[in-house]
Amino acid sequence: MNCLINTIIKKSSNHNPANCFTIEEQFVNDPVGRYPYANRYVPGQLPVPRMESFDFGLGYTEHEDPNYPELPVRTYNLPEDLEVHVIEADSGYFWKEKVEVFRPQELGPWKHGFSRGVALSEKEQMVGYWVMVW
């Protein structure tokens, strides 16, 4: 596995959270900006999924969403040593058929795009991957 991981890392760029912005796909069509923690483009940053949305088996906290109090929101705990590597990301429209969908202005040039990469934790011996298109 180390050989595969080293190959992936050599092809990618290591991005810490300060160099990435979060795309949360279920909120990418959020026309009124109810979810300020997601989908906020920052120049020079690359899109990654909101890692706290994935269950790494390390527990979680729940809190109330003021917009939907009947649906508690889970925030999953992340491995302390989680490294996020964006292998490839690009803005643009990548669907075969044209669909008119509203995207928040906060996405800037990333109103449509794709991102793929891996998240690694040596301490927890975990490798996660993602591919997302929006």
What are the per-10-residue average pLDDT scores of the chain (134 residues)?
41 49 54 52 81 88 83 87 89 84 79 89 91 87
Residue 19: which of 113, 84, 78, 107 has the closest Cα?
84
The domain of 25 spans: 2-133
What's the total number of domains in the chain?
Answer: 1
Token pair belonging to 51: 């890692």
> CB within 8 A of 36, min separation 6: which ones?
none
Per the structure block, which two tokens stand in for 78? 């992340």
Q: Which residue has the tokens 């795009």?
A: 113
- Residue 92: closest CA among 133, 43, 38: 133
- State the pLDDT at residue 72: 83
Q: What is the pLDDT of residue 39?
A: 61
pTM of the shown model: 0.68
